Chain A
Amino acid sequence: METPLLQGLGLHKAFGPNQALAGAGLEIGAGEIVAVMGPSGSGKSTLLHCLSGIVRPEKGQVLFRGRALPSMSDSERSALRRTEFGFVFQFGQLVPELTCLENVALPLRLGGMKRRPAERLAATWLDRLQVADVAGSTPGRVSGGQSQRVAMARALITEPSVIFADEPTGALDSLSGEGMMRLLSETAKQTNAAVVLVTHEPRVAAYSDREVVVRDGRTREPAVTR
């Protein structure tokens, strides 16, 4: 059997008295889209954060291409977020002081690329995601749907291996949400990126290859595979 791209095994995480994860696990292969579903407070976002190395689990292991994430240094995990991972969240991921173009170019610039080539590439991604017209605007001046596309362009510009999307359509109306998900799934397929998609909406989950349900900090894989 092929080694999964990303593996979370027996993950435990508590925030004060709240046990967010109690032995959750998940495996995902390259180019696969997995929807993580569950009720509010079930631990699905925490699972995503542990898998992406943002939060260290207290117990359990996260392996990316066989490398253990929790034992990596902060700078190693930062580099991973910059090069191998992309993030699309409900809100809060764009820097309000930078223009949309600068936001998209940011991961490349943090990685050391010069401004002009980084912004040229960012412009092509904005164009690809049909938001080239907002390149010079700051995030506060664009609509929610446009903002999410800009965030997606930023997540994709480094052509990451895994995209972590936490309720990416949560702040959008259903039409914009549909459009957003179509773009995300198509682009992920084109770039062979895996997508961990946290959602509680079955309509959004419908874009995934399979679903994982989180309840009381544990994962359960239903027999639904598309």
Chain B
Amino acid sequence: MSSWEDLTLGFRLAVGGGRGTAVRLVLATIGIGLAVAVLLLGASAGNANESRQQRENASLVNFDAARGGDPLLYTERTAEFRGEPIRLEYVHAIGPNSPVPPGLDRVPSPGEVVVSPRLNELLASDAGELLRPRLAGTRVGIVKTEALQNPRDLSAYIGVDASLAGYPIYGFGHPGPDRPLAPTVLLVLLIGIVALLTPVFIFIGTTSRIGGANRDRRLAALRLAGASSWQVRRVAAGETLVSAATGLLAGAGLFLLFRSQVANLQVFRFGLFPSDLTPSWPLVVLIALVVPALTVVTTLVAQRHTIIEPLGVVREASPVRRRLWWRLLLVVAGIALLMPGYPSGSDLARKMLMAGALLLLIGIPAMLPWLLERVVARIRGGPPAFQLAIRRLQSDSGTPSRVVAGLCVVIAGAIALQSLLAGQAAFYSWLPTSRQQFSSDLIQFTAVGGKAAEGAVPAVRAVPGAEDVRSIRTLLVSDSGVYLGIADCATITAVTAATSCADGDVFSFKEERALSLHKGQTVTLLDDGKREQRWTYPVDPRPVEFTRGEVAYYAGAQVLATPGALAGIDLSEASAAGTVRPSATDPDFVERVRNAVAPFGWRTQVNTVDGKKLTDEARMFSDVRDILFTGALFILLLAGVSLLVLAQEQVRERRRAIGALSAAGVPVRVVMRSLIWQNGIPLLLGVGTAIVTGIGIAAMATRLLSISLVIDWAAVGVLAVSSAVVVLLVTASTLPTVRSAARAENLRTE
């Protein structure tokens, strides 16, 4: 029989044999299919990122006057509606040749608005009632979806008067600044990819072992009929290739299904177009080759300690005790790479950190089977359910530890990354953890330019329920780049620690020592009309504490002067900053304030105190953290499915034993409890190992990166609890199969 014919026989065995074979094939297809779908998503990441970058670049404005033509007056602002960002672009065409923004047919005239499809939906809905006054112009079109950053973006182009537009631009689209990822973000992403992909490969391997015992029996029958040991290997490979092929097809189907629906999904700030999810062809080919190869290799490796003989399956006479040395080698090498004192933050430190972290992560699936074998070998006694589970684990600790190992790599990776990112986040004051100290019901607003400043403050005061409206006017001290705030004494005593104040007084921010301000010092003040005025300090500024979150602190003013100290200075073009508090709890109060100042367009901005914008890098960390956490939970789900597939298979293979137990009077609940122990003990051990490894990696990494170690216990808790829930659900799902297997009459038919 030729090699091809051996493989064909394998194909035939994989699809023949009725319901049992079909169930086995379906289970393997689900397991491999899910993993393939994840791999295809991974293979699309590059293209998705590139497409996003291209769209982002296409929307960048070009200031190059040399391009000629009529300019477009343009300003872009990010507004907010009920916590969701809305990108507003104010435009005014100077002439017929002014550049048209991407996704539009023409530049909207003053009073016209072009909105994104989702914003259009929102404005048309009841939920958008409070938003309508802000976009009161005539809606003359919809932005073409392909010009948006994300399919579900809220954005609008607003046609305004020249006075309200911004600066001249001469085109859209730019090669764009190359924004490489911050090295630490890159490091985090690489560890994340390994942490998420390693389990996928482990699951593919584990899934291809489904039905291993039956397959071995089948192959033994072939041996009896005269097949050589190499022939049965080829037959086994053929069988496995069928599930790999169906898994690949199912994975591709799942991927395409996800792709078709992706435009409706928005994870955090990211949304994708279906076309973004186009995997790179070389990677598709690689997946199509690696997945079947991996399944075949796993099948053959699984038979390493099994001699398929004509009489049946013969395990090697004395069970081979798992060797520790090579497993320990991975862990020791990992720790060794992370221990030495490399120059903090250096490229070498980062490389060593990555290699060390990867070795430790790979060390988990290597160590766990050994650890489980040793632990269960020492366990004695316990109630019958526990004893049954332990005996089962003693006879085969390989499969359960392999399944759990995949899950544990995810948990360890996620814990390490969450802790690493939490530590890194401590650098950025605007990350969620540090936002809390400012949290209050205070609402802050700014108005740029005299007209907006003079109009906005009364408009805010007029909002029903507005209380404690405090405002200051601001000018830039161009010599030092600091802001001068102008406010009356009532405001100054309310927003600083000053206990006394008289018109003519000047105060400086106590923490701003470097300015060394003094009486007689002359500085240049700059207003929004870019007009310069010379001002001499009439008195020595009194250093005071500015109250955090209050208007002077928030507006970034380092000097506060009463109007009497600014005699002769024209404040008509000074900007304004202010705060307002609602008299009663009203979640939409901020939206009413935004509507009140909307007539001033981009020149006004309203924020809740905890709605401050994140810095770009902090935002990136926050996003990466959220995405990795979601990824970890998704892979956990994948692990759950894999565990489910194996648990079902395990019960199916042990139907006769379960039937015999039941016939001997063992209640089904004892069998179920034993299954919980059987899945729970490896998981408990694995999660423990994962937590230690994850925190260990984070501890060593934070030392190397010179950032503080902040263990994200919430993430640890969520992941550990999710794992426990997965085990319980998986075990519960096997109950019907166990019940059916426990029927004593099965003993006759099995």
Contact = CB atoms under 8 A, between A and B. Distances in A.
Given A81-B224, A109-B9, A96 B230 contact: no
A87 B226 CA distance: 10
Interface in A116-161: 138, 140, 154
A180 to B, nearest CB: 18
Interface of B: 1-2, 5, 9, 12-14, 16-18, 20-21, 217-218, 220-231, 309-312, 317
B225 A138 contact: no
Given A92-B312, A98-B13, A112-B1, A106 B222 contact: yes
Contacts of B317: 16
A75 B12 CA distance: 23
18 contacts: A54-B310, A55-B311, A75-B230, A78-B223, A82-B225, A82-B226, A83-B226, A87-B224, A89-B224, A92-B220, A94-B221, A106-B222, A109-B9, A110-B222, A110-B227, A110-B231, A111-B226, A140-B17
B228 A74 contact: yes
Contacts of B16: 97-99, 138
Contact of B21 (A49, A83, A89, A97): A97
Interface of B is mostly: helix
A100 B454 CA distance: 95
A4 to B, nearest CB: 23
A138 B222 CA distance: 15
Nearest to A158: B226
A151 to B, nearest CB: 10
Given A97-B13, A97-B218, A98-B13, A107 B225 contact: yes
A206 interface: no
A54 B18 CA distance: 30
Contacts of A87: 224, 310
A96 B17 CA distance: 6
Contacts of B14: 97
A109 B12 contact: no
A96 B218 CA distance: 7
Contact of A109 (B1, B20, B229): B1
Contacts of A89: 224
A92 B221 contact: yes
A93 interface: yes
A181 B218 CA distance: 26
A147 to B, nearest CB: 12
B227 A78 contact: yes
Given A92-B312, A96-B17, A97-B16, A74 B224 contact: no
Contacts of B226: 78-83, 107, 110-111
Of A97, A111, A140, most buried by chain B (CB within 10 Å of CB) is A97
Nearest to A98: B16
Nearest to B214: A96
A95 B218 contact: yes
Nearest to B221: A95
A74 to B, nearest CB: 5
A138 B17 contact: yes
Contacts of A95: 13, 218, 221-222, 225
A75 B233 CA distance: 13
B312 A78 contact: no
Contacts of B9: 109
A112 B3 CA distance: 10
A74 B226 CA distance: 10
Given A54-B310, A106-B222, A97 B17 contact: yes
Interface string A64-103: 0000000000110011111100010100111111110010
Given A82-B227, A83-B226, 16 more contacts: A54-B309, A75-B229, A81-B224, A81-B225, A89-B224, A92-B220, A92-B221, A95-B221, A97-B21, A109-B5, A109-B9, A110-B225, A112-B2, A138-B18, A140-B17, A154-B225
